[in-house]
DNA sequence: ATAGTTCGTTCGCCGTAGGAAGGAAGTGTG
DNA sequence: CACACTTCCTTCCTACGGCGAACGAACTAT
């Protein structure tokens, strides 16, 4: 079965159970933000007697801040506790072909510090220097590092290596983890976006979603049962390779589908329809054009139809229930999204909501926060989405 | 997501931690089969002092049987304990349109008793009567019931309702659970097969797999990270609906893909190629024909190509790493499987193994065992797939 | 004021995890 | 054959933590 062949430490040792309690309280407080001890007893199931010393400890460590008394209808008012997001910092590192952007955020996803560095010299060194510098005196509060590597559209972890040097997840992650002493997660940007939208965006109310990211290539990030799923070889979501048309042919690590329906491909057609410079937002431009130009409208419908078939394919396989449009696909206006939704509904075997993602550029950051926090909270009964 | 909004009991209460220890020992013993207390301390991390009374308890309950002393190079020989598979029985109920088959198995998947009943009267009553009768004096050892409902090929849980009466997961599962007092799981047969192959078949060495079941329709069962995934609406694996050819059209709850490439569709063509009675195993018949008949060989290749595009689609979305062929697809001979493997390798973005499933009819049973045992292990009341 | 209500803390019992020591049952060695 | 030596299992003991119960605190309602 699974590889839990050797659990070297007792499942119910003293330290372990203490840690479980701590994490249970912290994660509850993180969700509810401001609450009293009485609410904690309800939410965690721990007895008041157990909570008193634990809360005291957490206050001392800065996780919780004691606020004044709350309102009371009758009886002693509750002494309110506020979760301190600054008690947990997270670093999000984005690798790009020639540079590296690094952000320190608190557990709200609020950016505390950020910096962009040109890549020179060793990536690992650069990361291990930048993160502590940026974190400054907040370094002890650093709970995790998430490293986003590009390349969803270019065929998974394997093929992205050349673009940024050696980025085979494990080495870079392990090296940084050893240096900084906190959990490090390496993943591709689309997976992080999916995690971000799930944690704090258009998917915070569901346990399953698929984020469709259209850019130079087309990739998808998959959240099932509250977790990002990467598949056996980390190539889950490589939907640009879907063989939806026997005539389509991919080339050089570009999938057959994305060769025709990526942002690049659309941009070329848009330039043909409206000669001029390649627009920054080709899909937005196409939507605009389609209002007046009949040929543009027809092509827009082609694009929507193609994308809908892509979405339907994903729905047939994993039934995510909700699909988020990201990247160029998020440039669609409401009528276009509605049209897409209708096309999907007509062909999918189960009801599926199609929406735009809402976090935009901040999705990766929120995903990194979510990764790092859950990496820090290994082994606790994680209560995932907020209501 | 789930309704675990209010964990009413403490995460580390006394009973809970005791239960965790028990389960930890039991599941270790189930895997290793015969071991000593010393091995248990290593594997579970529990101290010898903790284990002594616990093991005594488990022996008294019949979970473990004390065997003679084992070999020893030096020192006191280990007193060997053998896991007793009969201590945990599981009922697997298969619903079919007009009948109901019921099997009692031990945790090895060895069938202890079985029976087939014609469906007359209330399904729930029938189940609640049959299971205890079959279990006999083993009833106290019953740890769970898994109910397999047909209908993967007919569009998920919703559409299978008419064929067997009311089978909307929840009612039937809850009712039986209330009557028998053990966890009950209801799922469709393909998901159970996937779980079975994962637990005891061609997928026991991997954490992710996709089982492709070709029958009247085409459906897939999905195991990701060791768990069967059903998707938000329980429609994951409805791959018969994949829009792989714009020209294909489904009808009446039959997907466009399966309308052309299911066992039925193949059977029709086989009859056309070799007039006569519809063969029991049309794919096997086609493979046989293809050895001599060129048109048959060409058609077989068409079928393999179509199936390979189906598999590639699934691989692009979830990258299972291993694909198991079940039902009619398992009738392929080695060269055909190799051909399929090659077609997949040529188009898939990640390496994928294509194999035949090995459990055949027993897959559902093993899946049921696996479900029921893990339902009992989590201590959760039930994990029901969404209706 | 007084009663009533709700919160938080302290106290103390009890159960249990795990260290330490000791008995049990073998193998090797003089 | 006695004696050390090794390994395994058990028993004893202690310290610690969970949680029930009693208590004090802080406020509202009458």
Please check whether residues A244 and A349 belong to one and the same domain: yes
pLDDT for B32 = 85
Please check whether residues A20 and A58 belong to one and the same domain: yes
pLDDT for B170 = 52
- As a whole number, mean pLDDT of residues A263-268 equals 95
> Residue A331 has what DSSP assignment?
G
* Alpha-carbon Rg for chain B in angstroms: 23
pLDDT-derived band at B210, boundaries 50, 70, 90: very high
Determine contact, residues A114/A130, Cβ cutoff 8 Å: no
The whole-angstrom distance between B386's CA and the closest CA on chain A is: 12
Please say if the pLDDT value at position B381 is more than 50.
no
Please check whether residues B343 and B284 belong to one and the same domain: yes
Percent of chain A with pLDDT over 70: 88
pLDDT for A107 = 83
Note the pLDDT tens digit of each residue in B234-271.
889 999 999 988 777 777 778 899 999 999 999 999 99
Of A244-253, A291-300, B28-37, B370-379, the range with the lowest mean pLDDT is: B370-379
pLDDT-derived band at A12, boundaries 50, 70, 90: low
Note the pLDDT tens digit of each residue in B137-146.
888 888 888 8
Please say if the pLDDT value at position A287 is more than 60.
yes
Burial category of B170 from C-beta neighbours within 10 Å (exposed 0-12, middle 13-18, buried 19 and up): middle
Give dist(CA A26, CA A31) in Å, integer. Answer: 9
How many CB atoms lie under 10 A from the CB of residue B361? 8
Please say if the pLDDT value at position B5 is more than 60.
no
Note the pLDDT tens digit of each residue in A206-223.
999 999 999 988 999 999
pLDDT for A234 = 84
Which residue, B83, B101, B122, sits at the end of a domain? B83
Dihedral angle sign, alpha carbons of residues A257, A258, A259, A263: positive
CATH code assigned at A371: 3.30.420.40
Average pLDDT score, chain B = 84
Are A319 and B236 an interchain contact pair (Cβ–Cβ within 8 Å)? yes
Note the strand C nucleotides within 7 A of protein beta carbons: 4-12, 15-21, 23-28
Give dist(CA A232, CA A238) in Å, integer. Answer: 13
Pairing of strands A218-224, A353-356: unpaired
The Cα-based distances of A59 to A26, A83, A220 in angstroms read 11, 9, 41
In B26-124, beta strands by DSSP E? 34-36, 64-69, 79-83, 89-95, 99-106, 111-118
- The helix (run of H) or strand (run of E) holding residue A68 is strand A64-69
- The helix (run of H) or strand (run of E) holding residue A356 is strand A353-356
Looking up tokens 């900084």 gives A180
pLDDT for B245 = 83
Q: Does B181 touch chain A (CB under 8 A)?
A: no
Q: Does B317 touch chain A (CB under 8 A)?
A: yes
Please say if the pLDDT value at position A381 is more than 70.
no
Please check whether residues B162 and B271 belong to one and the same domain: no
Determine contact, residues A315/A350, Cβ cutoff 8 Å: yes
pLDDT for B2 = 34
What torsion, rounded to 10 degrees, do the Cα atoms B216, B219, B223, B229 define? -120
pLDDT for B22 = 85
CA of B73: nearest nucleotide by C1' is C27
Pairing of strands B64-69, B79-83: antiparallel
Are B234 and A17 an interchain contact pair (Cβ–Cβ within 8 Å)? no
The residue in chain B having the minimum alpha-carbon distance to the alpha carbon of residue A207 is: B1
Determine contact, residues B196/B367, Cβ cutoff 8 Å: yes
What torsion, rounded to 10 degrees, do the Cα atoms A300, A302, A303, A308 define? 120
pLDDT-derived band at B219, boundaries 50, 70, 90: very high
- As a whole number, mean pLDDT of residues A13-17 equals 76
pLDDT for B169 = 47
> Residue B69 has what DSSP assignment?
E
Please check whether residues B219 and B326 belong to one and the same domain: yes
Which residues 184-223 in chain A show a CB within 8 A of chain B?
Answer: 206-208, 220, 222
Residue of higher predicted confidence among A9 and B320: B320
For the record, the structure tokens of B270 come out as 């086989």
How large is the greatest C-alpha to C-alpha distance in chain A, in angstroms? 74
Burial category of A252 from C-beta neighbours within 10 Å (exposed 0-12, middle 13-18, buried 19 and up): exposed
- As a whole number, mean pLDDT of residues A105-132 equals 87
Note the strand D nucleotides within 7 A of protein beta carbons: 5-12, 16-22, 24-29
Determine contact, residues B223/B203, Cβ cutoff 8 Å: yes
Residue of higher predicted confidence among A329 and A147: A329
pLDDT for A8 = 47
Please check whether residues B342 and B210 belong to one and the same domain: yes
Are B349 and A241 an interchain contact pair (Cβ–Cβ within 8 Å)? yes
Give dist(CA A270, CA A39) in Å, integer. Answer: 57
Would A66 be classed as within a structural domain? Answer: yes
Please say if the pLDDT value at position B60 is more than 90.
no
Which residue, B56, B83, B110, sits at the end of a domain? B83
The Cα-based distances of B127 to A113, A364, B104, B176 in angstroms read 62, 50, 12, 7
CATH code assigned at B75: 1.10.10.10
Please say if the pLDDT value at position B382 is more than 70.
no
* Alpha-carbon Rg for chain A in angstroms: 23
> Residue B78 has what DSSP assignment?
P
- As a whole number, mean pLDDT of residues B90-99 equals 84
- As a whole number, mean pLDDT of residues B199-228 equals 94
Average pLDDT score, chain A = 84
B chain contacts of residue A351, beta-carbon cutoff 8 Å: 233
- Angle, CA of A180, A183 and A188, to the nearest 5°: 110
Dihedral angle sign, alpha carbons of residues A335, A340, A344, A346: positive
Please say if the pLDDT value at position A64 is more than 80.
yes
Please say if the pLDDT value at position A267 is more than 90.
yes
Residue of higher predicted confidence among B362 and B119: B362
What torsion, rounded to 10 degrees, do the Cα atoms B215, B216, B218, B223 define? -50
Are A245 and B246 an interchain contact pair (Cβ–Cβ within 8 Å)? yes
Looking up tokens 């070329």 gives A268
Residues 6+ apart with CB under 8 A from A127: A93, A100, A102, A145, A147, A176
Note the pLDDT tens digit of each residue in B283-342.
999 999 999 999 999 999 999 999 999 999 999 999 999 999 999 999 999 999 999 999
Please check whether residues B138 and B217 belong to one and the same domain: no
Please say if the pLDDT value at position B172 is more than 80.
no
pLDDT for A182 = 86
Would B8 be classed as within a structural domain? Answer: no
Residue of higher predicted confidence among B73 and A356: A356
Please check whether residues B234 and B319 belong to one and the same domain: yes
Q: Does B378 touch chain A (CB under 8 A)?
A: no
Would A8 be classed as within a structural domain? Answer: no
Please check whether residues B271 and B304 belong to one and the same domain: yes
Determine contact, residues A91/A372, Cβ cutoff 8 Å: yes
pLDDT for B73 = 66
The answer to whether the C-beta of B249 is closer than 7 A to strand C is no
Are A224 and B243 an interchain contact pair (Cβ–Cβ within 8 Å)? no
pLDDT for A153 = 33
For the record, the structure tokens of B363 come out as 């897959």
Residue of higher predicted confidence among B14 and B352: B352
Residue numbers of the domain that contains A57: 14-83
Of A233, A315, A347, the CB nearest to B321: A233
- As a whole number, mean pLDDT of residues A107-131 equals 86
Are A45 and B236 an interchain contact pair (Cβ–Cβ within 8 Å)? no
- As a whole number, mean pLDDT of residues B71-92 equals 83
The residue in chain B having the minimum alpha-carbon distance to the alpha carbon of residue A204 is: B1
Would A69 be classed as within a structural domain? Answer: yes
Please check whether residues A98 and A168 belong to one and the same domain: yes
pLDDT for A302 = 96
Please say if the pLDDT value at position A98 is more than 50.
yes
Strand partners, B251: B254
Please check whether residues B294 and B371 belong to one and the same domain: no
Give dist(CA B89, CA B87) in Å, integer. Answer: 6
Count how many domains chain B has: 3
Would A200 be classed as within a structural domain? Answer: no
pLDDT for B154 = 35
pLDDT-derived band at B72, boundaries 50, 70, 90: low
Residues 6+ apart with CB under 8 A from A333: A287
Would A26 be classed as within a structural domain? Answer: yes
pLDDT for A378 = 54
Which residue, A83, A103, A137, sits at the end of a domain? A83
Would B4 be classed as within a structural domain? Answer: no
pLDDT for A6 = 39
- As a whole number, mean pLDDT of residues A217-232 equals 93
Please say if the pLDDT value at position B201 is more than 90.
yes
Please check whether residues A354 and A214 belong to one and the same domain: yes
Which residues 243-302 in chain B show a CB within 8 A of chain A?
Answer: 243-246, 255
pLDDT for A167 = 47
């Amino acid at each position: 079965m699974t590889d839990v062949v050797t659990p070297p430490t007792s499942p119910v040792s003293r330290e372990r159970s203490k840690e479980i309690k701590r994490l249970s309280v912290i994660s509850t407080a993180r969700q509810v933000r401001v609450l009293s001890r009485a609410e904690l007893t309800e939410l965690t199931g721990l007895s008041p007697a157990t909570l008193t010393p634990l809360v005291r400890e957490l206050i001392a460590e800065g996780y919780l801040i004691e606020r004044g008394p709350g309102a009371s209808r009758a009886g002693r008012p509750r002494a309110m506790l506020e979760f301190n997001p600054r008690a947990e910092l997270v670093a999000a590192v984005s690798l790009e072909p020639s540079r590296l952007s690094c952000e320190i955020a608190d557990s709200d996803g609020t950016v505390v510090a950020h910096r962009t560095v040109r890549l020179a010299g060793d990536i690992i060194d650069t990361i291990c220097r930048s993160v502590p510098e940026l974190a400054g005196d907040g370094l002890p509060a650093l709970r995790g590092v998430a490293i986003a590597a590009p390349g969803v559209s270019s065929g998974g972890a394997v093929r992205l290596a050349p673009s940024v040097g050696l980025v085979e997840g494990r080495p870079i992650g392990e090296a940084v983890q050893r240096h900084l002493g906190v959990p490090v997660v390496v993943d591709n940007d689309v997976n992080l976006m999916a995690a971000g939208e799930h944690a704090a965006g258009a998917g915070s109310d569901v346990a399953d979603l698929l984020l469709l990211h259209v850019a130079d290539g087309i990739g998808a990030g998959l959240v099932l049962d509250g977790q990002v799923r990467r598949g056996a070889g980390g190539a889950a979501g490589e939907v640009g390779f879907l063989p939806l048309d026997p005539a389509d042919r991919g080339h050089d690590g570009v999938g057959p589908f994305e060769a025709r329906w990526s942002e690049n491909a659309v941009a070329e057609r848009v330039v043909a329809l409206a000669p001029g410079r390649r627009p920054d937002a080709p899909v937005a431009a196409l939507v605009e054009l389609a209002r007046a130009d009949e040929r543009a409208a027809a092509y827009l419908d082609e694009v929507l139809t193609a994308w809908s078939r892509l979405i339907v394919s994903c729905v047939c396989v994993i039934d995510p229930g909700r699909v988020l449009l990201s990247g160029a696909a998020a440039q669609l206006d409401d009528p276009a999204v509605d049209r897409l939704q209708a096309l999907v509904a007509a062909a999918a075997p189960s009801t599926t909501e199609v929406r735009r993602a809402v976090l935009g550029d901040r999705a990766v950051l929120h995903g990194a926060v979510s990764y790092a926090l859950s990496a820090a909270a290994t082994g606790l009964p994680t209560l995932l989405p907020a209501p």
